[in-house]
Amino acid sequence: MFINTLPLESLKCILIRMNLEVYWVRILYVSQFYFPYVKGGAEISLAILAENLSTQHNVWVFTIDPSNDSHDSINNVFVVRKHIPWLSHFLFEDLQNKKKINSLKARVSIIFAPYHKKLLKELEETINKFNPDIIHINNAVGFPLSKIYQMVRRRGKRVIQSIRDNFLLGTTSTGKRVPFWFRYINSVLSEADVVHFPSKTIMEKYGKQIKTEKIYIPNTVGIDFNEEKWNEFVERKKDDSVKKIAYVGVLEKHKGVHLLCEWFEDIYKALNNNVELIFVGDGSLRDFIENQLKKHIKNGTVKITGWIPRDEVDKILQESHFVILPSQWEEAFGRILIEGYYNGCLPIGSSWGAIPEVVGDKSLVFNNKKDLIKTLQFHSKTNNWYQKMMTLKEHMLQFSLSNHIKKFEQLYKILLK
């Protein structure tokens, strides 16, 4: 067999049929946002996946632009951006306003909207041009998913739908089912070939009525676990008398930062004044935090950095002892807990959504102020903190980058057989 003379498409098919580990696939990701328009963890997860798969496969992204049609290449990923009237305005302006009417508009727009014809036409043209083997849809508010699935299936392509937030769970942010929406969205998702969840907890809780293949592949922090560096971080701070707690993310109520503020005075006293709290991020509760913790900000025990570069976030985590996620909504994952651990922090989180699954230890999960204080008091003791860090290591390895990429490659390979 003269492989060198074969077209790339034929070579790809041969490699797959020979069941070789090295194979080449055309993958089209569809997403409402893509870098540099990063609105949350979903866009980060997609960028990590697309960029790392692009080293072995041909990867395109179809996404929405606020003002123009364009295309560009970002880290070996070809990005097609389309301006879709009404949808572009809704995603980039209206949806940033948390009013209930916009939540209703988002649900209605997936069923019916005047721009559907144009969006489907643009997506179909991209599919025809690229001819992907796999179409993998990420978050897609306003996208007529049922029509997209049907269009893809008519072309004999395979479609995967990832669920990365509560919009496609058919629930409110607090996990309460919206009756009609829950039934409708489950019926639509059942038309996909595979529905992917980043959390086993969320899949088991909300995916039972999805009548198609479901798979759990956890998110990744975007790097592999570096044990040598990790040991260095842990050893360097394990004997510190003052314990530092880091919160990284938006300063909004659904993330529970208001509770952290209200409870901090009691935490401070319970840890004999040997604790510092740092907020990395910004949001509508910043003024509340500054007023609530005015005294602690003045004496340096509480700091608010605002948004800072990624390397500076890592540096703060490497100097902290705990990373905390006090969310009061159904977190689909909780990536910062793993990022914190990989930088030498013990993760602590509320009992909402997938947080307990990500943390991996019940003793690090809290339901109320009393639980949190008890957890911090126990794990602030050097031996307890160090032992728990060592115990969690095996659990945390599953979130490594190489493991994440390998699982998606296996999924794509199975779908193409």
CA distances from 37 to 33, 81, 86, 101 (A): 6, 11, 18, 23
Nearest to 120 by CA among 98, 94, 140: 140
For residues 128, 113, 140 and 282, what is the CA-based torsion angle, rounded to 10 degrees?
A: 140
Q: Which residues contact 114 (CB under 8 A, 6 or more apart)?
A: 86
User: What is the pTM for the complete model shown?
Assistant: 0.85
Binning pLDDT at 50, 70 and 90, where does residue 101 land?
A: low
Q: Quick one: pLDDT at residue 167?
A: 82
Out of 41-50, 163-172, 356-365, give the one with best mean pLDDT.
356-365
**For residues 368-391, average pLDDT:** 97
d(CA 409, CA 196): 13
- 3-class state of residue 192 by DSSP: coil
**For residues 206-214, average pLDDT:** 93
Beta bridge partners of 302: 277
Residue 340 gets which letter from DSSP? H
Residue 301 in this model has a pLDDT that exceeds 80: yes
Residue 296 in this model has a pLDDT that exceeds 90: yes
For residues 95, 101, 253 and 357, what is the CA-based torsion angle, rounded to 10 degrees?
A: -80
CA distances from 343 to 70, 167, 222, 223 (A): 38, 31, 13, 11
What's the mean per-residue pLDDT of the chain? Answer: 90
2 vs 128 pLDDT, higher one: 128
Residue 327 in this model has a pLDDT that exceeds 70: yes
249 vs 165 pLDDT, higher one: 249
Residue 96 in this model has a pLDDT that exceeds 80: no
> What's the longest Cα–Cα distance across the chain?
76
Residues 58 and 27 sit within 8 Å (Cβ to Cβ): yes
Report strand pairing: 365-366 vs 26-31: unpaired
Task: Write down all domains in the chain, each with its CATH number in brackets.
Answer: 3-222+401-415 (3.40.50.2000), 227-398 (3.40.50.2000)
Burial of 401 (0-12, 13-18, 19+ CB in 10 A): middle
pLDDT 10s digits, 348-363: 999 998 999 999 999 9
Beta bridge partners of 27: 59, 134
94 vs 308 pLDDT, higher one: 308
Residue 11 in this model has a pLDDT that exceeds 70: no
Q: Quick one: pLDDT at residue 5?
A: 35
Q: Quick one: pLDDT at residue 108?
A: 85
335 vs 171 pLDDT, higher one: 335
Binning pLDDT at 50, 70 and 90, where does residue 99 land?
A: low
Beta bridge partners of 347: 323
d(CA 26, CA 9): 9
Q: Quick one: pLDDT at residue 104?
A: 78
